[in-house]
Chain A
Amino acid sequence: MAKAASGRSRKVRHSESLDLLPVMNLFCCIIPFLLLSASFLEVTIIQMAQTEGIGAAGAGAVANLARSEEDRLQPKVILTDEEMFIGTVAGTAHVCYSFTQNVDGVDMLTYDFDSLTTKATEVHRLLSEAYPQIEFHKVTILTVEETRYDNIVAAIDACAASGFDQPGLQVAPTASVEQATDAAMGR
Chain B
Amino acid sequence: MSTPTKRHVPLLIGYNKTKANVRGKKKVEVQLTSMIDMFTILVVFLLESYNSDGQIVTLSDALTLPKSTIQNPVSLRLEIQVNNRVIVVDGDPIVSVDENLLSTGNSIPVLVTRLRDHLEYSRQLRGTVTEEDTQINIQGDVAVPAILLQRVMSSCSEAGYATQNLEVIKMQEGGGTGNG
Q: Which residues on the A side are within 8 Å of B78 (C-beta)?
A: none
Closest CB of chain B to A146's CB: distance in Å?
5
A169 to B146, CA, bound (A): 9
A39 to B170, CA, bound (A): 11
Contact A149 B143 (CB under 8 A): yes
Say which one of B5-13, B54-62, B87-95, B121-129 lies at the interface with A.
B54-62
Cβ-based interface call for B180 (8 A): yes
Q: Which residues on the A side are within 8 Å of B105 (C-beta)?
A: 145, 171
Contact B166 A48 (CB under 8 A): yes
Contacts between the two chains (Cβ within 8 Å), count: 158
Contact A148 B70 (CB under 8 A): no
Contact B70 A20 (CB under 8 A): no
> Chain B CB within 10 Å — which of A38, A44, A47 has the most?
A44
Q: Which residues on the A side are within 8 Å of B163 (C-beta)?
A: 47-48, 50
A149 to B46, CA, bound (A): 32
Given contacts A149-B141, A153-B68, contact A43 B169 (CB under 8 A): yes
Q: Which residues on the A side are within 8 Å of B36 (C-beta)?
A: 20, 23-24, 27
Contact A171 B167 (CB under 8 A): no
- CB within 8 Å of A: which of B115-170? 137, 140-147, 149-150, 153, 162-170
Q: Which residues on the A side are within 8 Å of B66 (C-beta)?
A: 149-150, 153-154
Q: Which residues on the A side are within 8 Å of B49 (C-beta)?
A: 38-40
Closest CB of chain A to B166's CB: distance in Å?
4
Contact B32 A31 (CB under 8 A): no
Contact A45 B168 (CB under 8 A): yes
Given contacts A41-B177, A47-B72, contact A171 B146 (CB under 8 A): yes
How many residues in A have their beta carbons less than 8 Å from beta carbons of B?
Answer: 42
> Chain A CB within 10 Å — which of B52, B75, B150 has the most?
B150
Binary CB contact string for chain A from 1 to 38 against chain B (1 if under 8 A, 0 otherwise): 00000000000000001001101100100110011011
In-complex Cβ contact of A149 among B40, B47, B142, B165 (8 A)? B142
Cβ-based interface call for A152 (8 A): yes
Cβ-based interface call for A42 (8 A): yes
Q: Which residue of B lies closest to A167 (CB)?
A: B166
Cβ-based interface call for B71 (8 A): yes
Given contacts A39-B49, A46-B166, A156-B68, contact A34 B43 (CB under 8 A): yes
Contact B74 A45 (CB under 8 A): yes
In-complex Cβ contact of B74 among A44, A149, A152, A153 (8 A)? A44
A37 to B179, CA, bound (A): 13
16 contacts between A and B (CB under 8 A): A20-B32, A31-B42, A31-B43, A41-B170, A42-B178, A43-B59, A43-B169, A44-B70, A44-B168, A45-B137, A48-B166, A145-B146, A161-B69, A169-B150, A169-B153, A171-B149
Residues of B within 8 A of A (CB): 29, 32-33, 35-36, 39-40, 42-43, 46-47, 49-52, 54-55, 57, 59, 65-75, 102, 105, 137, 140-147, 149-150, 153, 162-170, 177-180
Residues of A within 8 A of B (CB): 17, 20-21, 23-24, 27, 30-31, 34-35, 37-48, 50, 143-150, 152-154, 156-157, 160-161, 165, 169-171
